Structure 1
Amino acid sequence: MTAFKNFPMVKMVVYGRGSFAQTAEILAPQRKADAPFIFIVDDFFQGKAELINRIPLEGKDKIVFASTADEPKTKQVDAIAKELKDEFGTVSGVIGIGGGSMLDLAKAVALMMTNPGSSADYQGWDLVKVPGAYHVGIPTLSGTGAEVSRTTVLTGPERKLGMNSDYTPFDQIILDPELIKGAPKNQRFYTGMDCYIHCIESLTGTYLNTFSQSYGEKALELCEEIFLKKDVWDDDSDDKLMMASYHGGMSIAYSQVGVAHAVSYGLGFLLGTKHGIGNCIVFDHLEEFYPDGVRDFKAMVDKHEIHIPKGICANLTDEQFDKMIDVAMFMAPLWENALGKNWKDTITRKKLREMYEKM
């Protein structure tokens, strides 16, 4: 008898323009006596009253501003969790406000409020054994799918890898397209392409099933509409990108990503390349694996006049190449989804070295 994966989804979802105003009402039933809510917020918003003044602080509630100069690191997660435990003992919940990095950081901190040791101990698949604190995701960028995924991607001392577990998904997400309005063009594109690449990898992968296909096809349709067909970015574009991100994240919940993500993890670990732009750098060179997807990606880049960095690996040492290759080779489920169980026949260390040298 086949054992089907019984995976958790986000428990509660609210969607709509202005829905951020319901945050206090949504959080109220989860509030515990003398246990604050912690809002982990992208420091891009520090001093920006338009958003910060709308965060419904009560009692000992606290805002923790976190930098997105680098993607979340295990030591950052551990430091925030320790500080909160030392200051409050326990919390009513953790709310992430920002792009994919902030949402991943919030998920990881929530897990480490209840699990012992370091977050680095849980980088992998199904290593988290205890439910985390109540946690809520409020995206201000769309594309990564972090609002619905069962992973939280972290850079640790040995590798860049998520805490992939049934306890990782948010208990609640608040999807308000008003919050993503006015995002910088390049950042919006990079995160949007994370969604597009998710879909290409999921829809062409060996793990593909009807569940993943149904979400992936809708997300891909939305991405193509807003990045290929529309000439003006408007409110409708923000609405559709937010839904593309949701559907794209769901498309990989029951399948997996592929070559672009596996290779970009190496860039992220060694060079600190952010996830969205890292995927773009890699995908730009993947005609061998995704010819149609790369063709349309290049058309999107040209249409929106986006700069994709080149030559970032030009001056790396053999040791540095080996470290990136180590990280990429560790992503066995991603390679298997892309190429099947015999993926090692195609993806050798020599092959990966050649791929990185093009970037």
Structure 2
Amino acid sequence: MVPRVIFGKGSFSQLGEILLPQRRNSEAPFIFLVDDFFENRSLANEIPLLFNDELIFISADEEPKTAQVDALVARIQQNFDELPSGIVGIGGGTLLDLAKAVSILLNNDGLAQDYQGWDLVQRPAIYHVGIPTISGTGAEVSRTTVLLGPEKKLGINSDHTTFDQVILDPDLTQTVPTEQWFYTGMDCFIHCIESLEGTYLNAFSQSYGEKALDLCKEVFLEDHPEEASRDMLMMASWHGGMSIAYSQVGIAHAMSYGLSYLLGIKHGIGNCLVFQHLEEFYPEGVKLFNQMLSKHNIQMPKGICSNLSQSDFDTMVEVSLGMCALWENALGKDWKSIMTPQRLQELYSRI
């Protein structure tokens, strides 16, 4: 679990005070990985740079990749003689996952793809801080950093992945466009549905999942002042991430991995594209999802898989079925006899 967290409007202003005790010396910089949306915006000017700290702006237009992590690690190692004092990720799930992965690879030999899997990291990551600027992914609290590798899309799942410090400032989410706000918020909503209806459910995950689901319903089905909605969705994201830390997600996420690997579709919208067709598995969840779509006038893209070749489908199916824990959580230990490659391809063909 994340050992330290600060929540509240304006809490980003405490970042300099938080980092100062973690600075080893003036030659050991902090590296700030920041969504390039904030380049030339006020947030960038508020980052507390000292000494030889480096600010790196990164596009979040694509899913984070193992090669991208390796390139960032090589750049940092070439530019500085000392190991950094820490890594700070500022942005959505992509930037938070990159920050977690870079902090691991700076203190572990090899390439990022070598650590895709469960509990493969041998040495602790260097100090790392997560500051979400959009709510929903749960990346700020999870013990995984999901990366697109040369052969698979899979997380670095490790106790060393989790952030040492998180700052939750709802004011940082004010600039999120409506559709992105919805799709990323639905990532949290779908987390909750899949966790609460999964075979891995336990008292820990249930308590957090139920709270996150209640908050999602308030944000997306009721009318609240914008400021209150920002607060609630940030807490829903946190609680949703805590829920799946002790359980697992399910079918929508497993299928979304296939879409992302083949077509580069971002995680939040990928989950939504899949979830709308999963009524036979999550009937109440899909009903609520459709109500949320209608209330916020969101038009889902259509025909995503209409022109794919059989080879394309085979790739997506292989990637998706490789997420064994997700399928077992959704369908039980006998999941392979339920979700055959043919049935999974038919589901993909609806998207």
Could you state the TM-score of these two structures normalised by the residue count of structure 1?
0.96
C-alpha distance in structure 2 between counterparts of 1:347 and 1:72, whole Å: 28
Read off the aligned partner of 1:142 and give its amino acid letter: S
1:217 to 210, 217, 228: 210
Alignment match, 2:246: 254
Q: Are 2:256 and 1:278 equivalent residues in the alignment?
A: no
Q: Choose which of 69, 73, 88 in structure 2 pairs with 1:95.
A: 88
* Residue 15 in structure 1 maps to residue 7 in structure 2: yes
1:307 and 2:299 correspond: yes
Counterpart code for 1:126: D
1:109 and 2:116 matched = no
Match of 1:236 in 2: 228
Q: For 1:42, which of 35, 42, 55 is the aligned residue?
A: 35
Structure 1 stretches of 4+ moved >3 Å:
none
Computed over aligned residues only, the root mean square deviation of the Cα atoms, in angstroms, reads 0.7
| SS at structure 1 position matched to 2:343 | helix
Q: 1:203 aligns with which of 196, 203, 225?
A: 196
Residue 177 (str. 1) matches residue 177 (str. 2): no
Residues 146-190 of structure 1, C-alpha deviations (whole Å, 9 max, x = no match): 000000010000011110111000000000011111310000001
Distance 1:233 1:322, change over 3 A: farther
What is the distance in 2 between the residues matched to 1:353 and 1:283?
15
- Mapped partners of 1:233, 1:59: distance in 2: 41
Deviations 1:222-276 (A, max 9, x none): 000110122x551000000000000000000000000000000000000000000
Please state if 1:191 is matched with 2:187: no
Q: How does 1:19-34 map to 2 (within 5 A)?
A: 19-33=11-25, 34=27
Deviations 1:181-238 (A, max 9, x none): 13100000011000000000000000000100000000000000110122x5510000
Question: Which residue number in structure 2 is paired with residue 55 of structure 1?
Answer: 47
- SS of alignment partner, residue 144 of structure 2: coil
Cα distance in structure 2, aligned partners of 1:308 and 1:98: 24
Asked if residue 132 in structure 1 is aligned to residue 125 in structure 2, the reply is yes
Equivalent residue number for residue 6 of structure 1: none
User: Sequence identity of aligned pairs in percent?
Assistant: 62
AA in 2 matched with 1:22: Q
Choose 121-130 or 187-196, whichever is displaced more.
121-130
Give me the TM-score of the superposition, normalised by structure 2: 0.98
1:314 is aligned with what amino acid? Answer: S
- Runs of 5+ consecutive residues of structure 1 not aligned to the other structure: 1-8
Amino acid at match of 2:107: T
- Answer with 304-313 or 90-99: which moved more: 304-313
**Structure 2: gaps spanning 5 or more residues:** none
| 1:321 correspondence with 2:313 | yes
After superposition, the C-alpha distances for 1:283-308 in whole angstroms (9 at most, x for unaligned) are 01000110000000011001001121
Deviations 1:22-55 (A, max 9, x none): 000001111011110000000111111x100100
Q: Deviation per CA, 1:76-103, whole angstroms, max 9, x where unpaired?
A: 0000011101111410000000011110
- In the alignment, the residues of structure 1 paired with residue 36 and residue 247 of structure 2 have an alpha-carbon distance, to the nearest angstrom, of 33
For 2:32 and 2:225, the matched residues in 1 are separated by: 30
Shift of 1:133: 1.0
Number of residue pairs aligned between Structure 1 and Structure 2: 349
- Aligned-partner residue type, residue 202 of structure 1: S
1:252 partner SS: helix
SS of equivalent residue, structure 2 residue 56:
strand
Q: Aligned residue for 1:77?
A: 69
Distance 1:45 1:307 in 2: 27
Distance in 1 (alpha carbons) for counterparts of 2:87 and 2:175: 26
Tell me the equivalent position of 1:245.
237
| Aligned-partner Cα distance in 1 for 2:133–2:93 | 9
Q: Indicate whether 1:167 and 2:167 are aligned.
A: no
> 1:106 and 1:75 mapped to 2: Cα distance?
14
